[in-house]
Every structure is written in structure tokens, then in C-alpha cells.
Amino acid sequence: MSAFSIAFYFTPMKHAIQFDNLEKSFGSLPVLQGISGYVDAGEVLSIIGSSGCGKSTLLRCLNRLETVDRGKIVISDLEISKPQLSSRELKEVRSRIGMVFQQFNLFPHLSVLENLTLAPQQVLKISRSESKERAKYYLQEVGLADKAEMYPEQLSGGQRQRVAIARSLCMEPQIMLFDEPTSALDPELVGEVLAVMRRLAEEGMTMVVVTHEIQFARDVANRVMFLDQGRVVEEGLAREVLTNPNSDRLHTFLSRMRQAQMI
């Protein structure tokens, strides 16, 4: 096992993530309507669906960036959906889960290295020297070892997203969440980000990926979940679901995605 995989290896358990009957509304608009599912340790779950179907909201609930109105979410052995989490429990959630957003959310006034060392020092309380070594290691793993002293505005979109991935890995999480990480990139930059994510999957990282990259979902994900109007329409092994969808709604969605990617 490589040093890279050792960094986030942890003892397998029944489910790394379990969520049951999740409901979430924004005002009078229902966004999640009774969604249930799970992710096993070392598994990649891809969540697909049209814009507004609830994909990103579900992901944000899994990281306690949003709270659910009803339902239960358990990360490992910690229930994160209960109304009140203590500061200790919230810190525990943050330490277990890394998240990569559509936008890179890097601090523009900090160098790449400073962006990567900030959270480990402030949240994990590790030393400055150790955080630097960790940051340099993960920059090497995403192919950006030579960009440590540069600033975000000096990087391409693909490079900034890879920095964002390295920043999350510096917290050495058990689980990584990706919210359409390539949607803000020019088409020619998408591949370099997907290659890093593919590497993480091969190394055994537990991942939940919201994406419109259907080929990536088919090739890399273990399972796929298709949402429509806040509900799970179809879920199963990625290759089976994406090659032979059972529902007319998923069949239509995939046809439209293929047409859009051919333009």
C-alpha cells in the first residue's frame, strides 16, 4: 500500500455513510423528499440528475452545511442529523469529511502552500512544519509540486481545482464529497481534475460525487443514484444503471446528456 493510500485508510465498517428518509425544504419548496441511501467504506457513489433535483443539497446535508427537516444521517458511528451538535461533534464531522465545491473557494491573498496549511494548523492543531510537509506531499500527488509559492490567480481553473482537492486531502479525511467539481472548468481542463479523482478512487478513498460527467460515473463509481424532483428514481451498480436504465426518466436524462456532450 502506498503512503498516499495509507494517509486516508481506515478500518472498514458496515456503512461509512447511512442516510434515511431525508426531507428538506427551502420555504415552501420541497428539495429532498424521503431520500435514503448508503455508501460503504472505500466505495464511490455518483449522484446524477438535472439541475434543481436536489443533488447538491443532499451533499451539503451529508457535511452538515445544511440541516435536514426530517430523517437521519450517520457518518461512521456519529449521527450528524440531530438538531443540536456539540462543538466537539461538529469538529469531528469536519475532520472526517472533505468537500470540494464547484467554485474553488481558495483564499486569493494566500499562496497555494498557505491555502493548504491553514486548516491543518487551525483545526487539527498540527505544527507549522508538519502542515508544510503534508501540503507538499499532497501537492505532489495532484501534480502541482512546483506551484506551492504561486497564488490562485496565477493558476488555470483545472490547477485551482486540483489545489482545492489537495487542500481537502491535507485534513486527511475518511470521506471526500465532490459537488460538480468540473462544472466551472473549460472542457479541455476537465480531464486533469477527473484524473486526480480517479486516482483517489483507485487508492480506496470513500467518495460521493455529484457530477454531470456520465462517462466518469460509469467508469469510476461503484454505484450511481439518479435523483429527480427530490426523489431517488433509480439506484444501483453504475455500469448496469447507466447502460440499461429501467426508468423512462433516466433514459431520457441520459439521452439528453449524450446529445449535449456531442455538441
Sign of the four-CA dihedral 162, 198, 145, 138: positive
Helix (H, G, I), strand (E, B) or coil at 107: coil
Q: Are residues 89 and 78 in contact, defined by beta-carbon separation less than 8 angstroms? A: yes
Find the CATH number of the domain harbouring 25: 3.40.50.300
d(CA 35, CA 22): 5
Q: How many residues does the chain have?
A: 263
pTM more than 0.85 = yes
CB count within 10 Å of CB 107 equals: 12
Task: Count structural domains, the chain.
Answer: 1
Residue 231: exposure state from Cβ atoms within 10 A (0-12, 13-18, ≥19): middle
Cα 155 from chain centre = 22
pLDDT in the model for residue 98: 93
What is the domain range of residue 88?
A: 3-93+101-262
pLDDT in the model for residue 104: 85
Chunk the chain into consecutive blocks of 10 residues (it has 263) and report each block's average pLDDT, rounded to whole numbers.
40 77 96 96 96 94 94 90 85 86 91 96 92 96 95 95 95 94 88 94 95 92 96 96 94 87 54
